[in-house]
A and B are shown apart, each in its own frame.
Chain A
């Protein structure tokens, strides 16, 4: 299982807020931990099957390319979902079962719909190439650790394989 070690300090790994002029939707999307937390709470049923410590991460495309940066993590701890920041140091051992790599504007689109159909927007972004999903755990583990419903909601099982 992709275990989620407790974050040392969320502030230490949070995204760089950037200059004031960068208070664009993109920046807001990365920094709004409370907003993401509310999303997870609203869709609690979707994550009920996740094993303790189960986690998925979201990183900006630039961080994924550089192998370094802040990672927004959705993790299940003590029976509840938490949104938190962790450091992303590359694909190896990044501690999540699935990693979403997002173009900043794509995440902003998702974030703009936090109160509506954010997961539907995520699915759309995955299909349109605004977000890419990397599978970092074997299929059997994804199934055993209860990710199936969540991933199917995002269209994963529908994607790929010689279309």
Chain B
């Protein structure tokens, strides 16, 4: 074990239980892999078998809704725990967690304001309408329903223990029922469950009491906000959040997991635009306030070394980690072995959550196997016949393919025409305002894996028919992973030499643009460049797009971020615009109002749609036995598809 992480990996007593380390796998939303009736599926079991083996000391199984009506059901395919008929699958999961030497915790999740997904309504303490259209209109929960809801939670807790779990967890993370009672934003009741903080916290205290009574000395974890990020709209202040934690501790909870934010909060809590460690102070405050209560924390804390430091400094007791382990289930093992450079880091792309809020199963940009653990097509198995494979292009798709193929026993050489691996991603990372390091870590990972697996990468090497003729019959397979280029045919011809440049060249630092810039294209490439040129280089930038709105190709949960940056940075945009001419010191467009407008520019950056680099498919067709393609060279999309394509191809070559 690396000595620097010794606090993280030390065994820890937790009540009568002993955890082999201070790492708690967090329930992390829900997977949406299950049956519409709440039954656990083979797909879910496959995922949980992998999670059980992550080497965490405590593993929390995803939140199950406790009521038969489904008022607590917040996700399209959330698991249920309101009946004994669900138990056999829960028993399997608890068994796997125990077999792997971890403590098994079952989360009970009543989504409250975000619940009732199959119903025409949700229940919450008071009728406070939704601020997001995804959720259901509210009904006020009656006192009788409060009693019944508490009973259902207690029954679900008993059922969890019956299935073999060691303890349970309730959650107010992101604005679920417990948070709805605690918060002034959604609790406007005038009875004993509303009004004062004590009254608002009454539901939580009764819930804790009932569950503890139902499950005896088995531990109960409660997830509570250190900050709701809703205070501007009448939600709890941070101080009130901590008073609620004190109340929970006073009722004997066995661990408090500190969380941040509501789903409808107007600011980020866990996206890539939040610096790692940003919220650690909330955990530290909880620990200081409640020194005798174990504190778990992990929001936007993806780094084990930082977690170790926090534990060392007494800021919290357990590192609660989920999304980083969706990205790389071997994270703990690699950290323990001192191989953090080989970890596939969670880059906060929010692909997982973007999908969840479209009622889709979650997937991970970095980990193509997530959600496919049960599927033989996604297993990295020894190749029946080792082949000699040339991968052309060292971007994410080509490297993912090369690594997967190499792990299967193939002999792989990567050819890259530029001087470094990373493809277009390297330039994109350099200009990313959210967190450049996150994206750069993807490139680092590929470089480190190539070295670790001894994959030869021939840089500054262009593959074309001529080069190929010198290597005829040396390879069995060629993989075209040559990416895509800006489609200049979509633009009028530039009449001024040097005025029009390619976005990918600017991103890569090959071209230094002038002071006044017009970016043609308001998708993720154009926006990322425009933001960076304005913020980091002080350029005067205007963005022109033919669509009605910018950011059309951006991940849904991140679109707002780009539009916000564009506004905050004061970058003018022209949407629904047609480019008429490029030259004579600028760009002539027809704007949304139908009038012609001249935008002066020293540099015009082409960031319009890309077209795949597919020439090699034709040129190499008669020169190699097997010819395949992956990533943007097939269809230009984004990082997630590039990585997934590369993996899937590597797994079946």
Contacts and interface: CB of A to CB of B under 8 A. Distances in A.
B131 A149 contact: no
Interface of A: 65, 91-92, 99, 120, 123-124, 126-129, 132-136, 138-139, 142, 149, 151-153, 155-163
B132 interface: yes
Interface in B257-294: 261, 263-271
A138 B350 CA distance: 25
Contacts of A124: 567
A163 B132 CA distance: 13
A97 B564 CA distance: 25
B38 to A, nearest CB: 21
A135 B234 CA distance: 17
Contact of A163 (B29, B134, B268): B268
Contacts of B354: 161
B266 A127 contact: yes
Contact of B131 (A92, A135, A152, A157): A135
Given A129-B233, A139-B134, A159 B266 contact: yes
B559 interface: yes
Interface in B98-140: 120, 127-134, 136-137
A152 to B, nearest CB: 6
B353 interface: yes
A134 B133 contact: no
Interface of B: 29, 120, 127-134, 136-137, 174, 232-234, 261, 263-271, 350, 353-354, 356-357, 548-549, 551, 556-557, 559-561, 563-564, 567
Given A158-B563, A160-B264, A162-B350, 4 more contacts: A91-B129, A129-B232, A138-B136, A158-B559
Contacts of B128: 91, 134
A142 B136 CA distance: 13
Contacts of A160: 131-132, 134, 263-265
A66 to B, nearest CB: 11
Contacts of A92: 127
Nearest to A99: B129
Contacts of B353: 161-163
B263 A161 contact: yes
Nearest to A132: B233
Contacts of A138: 120, 133, 136-137
18 contacts: A129-B266, A132-B131, A135-B132, A138-B120, A152-B549, A155-B564, A156-B133, A157-B559, A159-B131, A159-B264, A160-B134, A161-B263, A161-B354, A162-B29, A162-B263, A162-B557, A163-B271, A163-B353
Contact of B266 (A126, A136, A151, A161): A126
A96 B198 CA distance: 35
A109 to B, nearest CB: 14
Contact of A128 (B132, B265, B266, B549): B266
Contacts of A123: 567
B617 to A, nearest CB: 37
A142 B549 contact: no
A132 B130 CA distance: 10
The winner among A127, A138, A155, A159 for most chain B CB atoms within 10 A is A159
Nearest to A127: B266
B174 A162 contact: yes
The winner among B127, B134, B137, B560 for most chain A CB atoms within 10 A is B560
A133 B131 contact: yes
A149 B548 contact: yes
Nearest to A126: B266
Contacts of B269: 162-163
Contacts of A159: 131-132, 264, 266, 560
A91 B129 CA distance: 7
Contacts of A128: 266
B137 A155 contact: no
Contacts of A156: 132-133
B270 A163 contact: yes
Contacts of A134: 128-131
B548 A158 contact: no
Contacts of A127: 266, 560, 564
A161 B263 CA distance: 4
A139 B266 CA distance: 20
A73 to B, nearest CB: 16
A142 B133 contact: yes
A158 B350 CA distance: 13
A139 B133 contact: yes
Contact of A91 (B127, B133, B356, B549): B127
Contacts of A157: 556, 559
A138 B121 CA distance: 10
A135 B137 CA distance: 8
Contacts of A135: 129-133
Contacts of A65: 234
The winner among B133, B261, B353 for most chain A CB atoms within 10 A is B133
Nearest to A148: B133
A139 B135 CA distance: 8
Nearest to B173: A162
Nearest to B185: A132
Nearest to A94: B129
A100 B363 CA distance: 35
The winner among A65, A126, A129 for most chain B CB atoms within 10 A is A129
Instruction: Kindly list the 7 A-B residue pairs having the minimum CB-CB distance in the complex, ordered from nearest.
Output: A158-B560, A129-B232, A134-B129, A139-B133, A161-B357, A162-B353, A160-B132
A132 B128 CA distance: 12
A127 to B, nearest CB: 6
The winner among A124, A127, A163 for most chain B CB atoms within 10 A is A163
B408 to A, nearest CB: 35
Contacts of A129: 232-233, 266
A127 B562 CA distance: 13
A163 B557 contact: yes
A63 to B, nearest CB: 14
Given A127-B266, A128-B266, A134-B129, A161 B134 contact: yes
The winner among B129, B350, B560 for most chain A CB atoms within 10 A is B129
B271 A161 contact: no
B350 to A, nearest CB: 7
